[in-house]
Amino acid sequence: MATKSLKAAGHQLAQTQKQLDLLQSGPFKDGDLPLFKDKIAQSGQFPLKAKKLEILQINLGYMCNQVCAHCHVDAGPDRKEIMTRETMQQCLDVIAQTGAHTLDLTGGAPEMNPDFRWFVEAASAAGIKDFIVRSNLTIIRANKKYHDLPEFFAKYGIHVVSSMPHYTKGKTDKQRGDGVFNASIEALKMLNKVGYGMPGSDLKLDLVYNPSGAYLPGDQAALEKDFKKALDTDFGIQFNALFAITNLPISRFLDYLIASGNYEDYMYALVDAYNPAAVAGVMCTNTLSVSWDGYLYDCDFNQMLGLKVASKARHIKDYDTSLLEGREVVISQHCYGCTAGDGSSCQGAVA
Amino acid sequence: MDNNYYDPADLRKFGKISEWAPELGEKFFDYYNSVFEEGALSAREKSLIALAVAHVVKCPYCIDAYTKDGLQKGITKEEMMEAVHAGAAIESGATLVHGVQMMNKYNKLSM
């Protein structure tokens, strides 16, 4: 299990250009597989254009207490990129003026940002309908100062979305690190205890499943049924919904695909599973992703590839609906990850 | 053509069999896809049956395909190995039950 980010290890894939070059080469260069833009053009869906903003996703920083093998952020304890209070204030100004119904905080572990609680308190005053925090669960158990997070989340009516790759210990620890499964189970019990995910409670607790290997997620509803049964039977844990998310071929997952000799087969699998109906629901058409330093991206994946929005407004301080709505979404071959099978987004399947 | 009977890359070309007999190919894939849908048996149960049969008929393509299918469905490696044993038990049982025929013949021919 890696303990360093690709960046700290000086790995060549820490350079976004190297990743983008790879996504243009191999079967895509040889013409064995179609480029994403040509594929969506076949069904008259090129260019993809941003519609009305519904979801504002803010990345509070790349620091994390875990170093997951598949992480597209390349997050870890050694990452120092953290959003400042000044940038948070710029985000708050935008939250107040957009009609976005969902505010989605992510990271790294967003809770590790020293101004996390200040930001949540301030943002909750804006009256956003769905206020999500993506929590990796183990952070709640990582240090005493985080033990009251479930109560803090509940106080502000936060919608907690947590990663859980499998309901068995072996698979979870292999992807996310030794001890992660047990710590996650403890954290889920703490969240249940304050009402999260419990029948009749307004406090929503959703789980994110993404495959621990070079394969696509299966049917979301069937996986949700299996997770619910196993977590309830084995641990008495309750949750609301399971989001099945496809791993995109970038950053640490891309490194894994290449190192394990699975890259080409995985790209074939993504292209084979291409579903035009999923293109209609991709998140980049209703989402804006804000990086720790305030720049704007069509999605969190584009953020990690350094692909900023194709608009004159490229920073949260320059946010302008008239410039951003209708912008052309920046795409490459990683986008096949969101259009395979039932589709994939930060809210799970889309088709 | 490669000097191998089996090439893993051929699995993703499976659909090409329809090119030389489109009507039969289409009928086969329609049937195949229907078989593995949720029914009286769950898609998960059918995936495990397919994995067991894949081993019994010793089809390397099918083993690759249904190991991956099992992973996608969240099936554990313990479940997969038990399914392989279920197939193997039937296969060895099928051999051993012929031992009765051998015994019958032996007894008939012996004084």
- What percent of chain A shows pLDDT beyond 90? 92
Instruction: Pick from A173, A219, A225, A234 the residue to mutate for testing the B interface (most B CBs within 10 Å).
Output: A219
Domains and CATH numbers, chain A: 12-338 (3.20.20)
Q: In the beta sheet, which residues pair with residue A55?
A: A102, A287
- What percent of chain B shows pLDDT beyond 90? 92
Q: Among B13, B64, B58, which residue's Cα sits nearest to residue A215?
A: B64
Average pLDDT over residues B49-59: 98
Q: Which residue in B12, B38, B74 is closest to A166 by CB distance? A: B74
pLDDT per residue over A6-59, tens digit each? 999 999 999 999 999 999 999 999 999 999 999 999 999 999 999 999 999 999
- Residue B81 contacts A, CB cutoff 8 Å: no
pLDDT at position A199 over 70: yes
- Measure in Å the smallest separation between the Cα of B65 and chain A Cα atoms: 11
Q: Is residue B34 part of a domain?
A: yes
- Residue B98 contacts A, CB cutoff 8 Å: no
Chain A residues touching B44 at Cβ < 8 A: 222, 226
Mean pLDDT of chain A: 95
B37: nearest CA partner in chain A: A219
Higher pLDDT, A351 or B66: B66
- Measure in Å the smallest separation between the Cα of A243 and chain B Cα atoms: 14
pLDDT at position A72 over 90: yes
- Residue B43 contacts A, CB cutoff 8 Å: yes
- Residue B3 contacts A, CB cutoff 8 Å: no
Residue B90 belongs to a domain with what CATH number? 1.20.1290.10
Contact A226 B44 (CB under 8 A): yes
Give chain B's largest Cα–Cα span: 61
- Residue B94 contacts A, CB cutoff 8 Å: no
pLDDT per residue over B12-32, tens digit each? 899 999 999 999 999 999 999
- Residue B29 contacts A, CB cutoff 8 Å: no
Mean pLDDT of chain B: 95
pLDDT per residue over A145-184, tens digit each? 999 999 999 999 999 999 988 898 887 888 888 889 999 9
> Are residues A277 and A45 in contact, defined by beta-carbon separation less than 8 angstroms?
no
pLDDT at position B1 over 60: no
DSSP letter assigned to residue B75? -
- Tell me if the bond preceding A47 is cis, omega within 30° of 0: yes
Q: Is residue B6 part of a domain?
A: no
* pLDDT at res. A144: 96
Q: Is residue B11 part of a domain?
A: no
- Residue A341 contacts B, CB cutoff 8 Å: no
Residues 79-118 on A with a CB inside 8 Å of B are: none
ipTM above 0.90, yes or no: no
Q: Is residue B92 part of a domain?
A: yes
- Residue A219 contacts B, CB cutoff 8 Å: yes
* pLDDT at res. A33: 97
Q: Among A243, A221, A167, which residue's Cα sits nearest to residue B44?
A: A221
- Whole-structure pTM value: 0.92
Contact A219 B12 (CB under 8 A): no
* pLDDT at res. A175: 80
pLDDT per residue over A225-262, tens digit each? 999 999 999 999 999 999 999 999 999 999 999 999 99
pLDDT per residue over A123-154, tens digit each? 999 888 999 999 999 999 999 999 999 999 99
Q: Is residue B85 part of a domain?
A: yes
Q: Is residue B38 part of a domain?
A: yes
pLDDT at position A309 over 60: yes
- Residue B91 contacts A, CB cutoff 8 Å: no
Domain count, chain B: 1
Q: Which domain holds residue B70?
A: 16-109
- Measure in Å the smallest separation between the Cα of A222 and chain B Cα atoms: 8
Q: Is residue B75 part of a domain?
A: yes
Q: Is residue B4 part of a domain?
A: no
pLDDT per residue over A310-333, tens digit each? 999 999 999 999 999 999 999 999
Contact A222 B12 (CB under 8 A): no
What token pair was written down for B79? 């479940």
* pLDDT at res. A315: 98
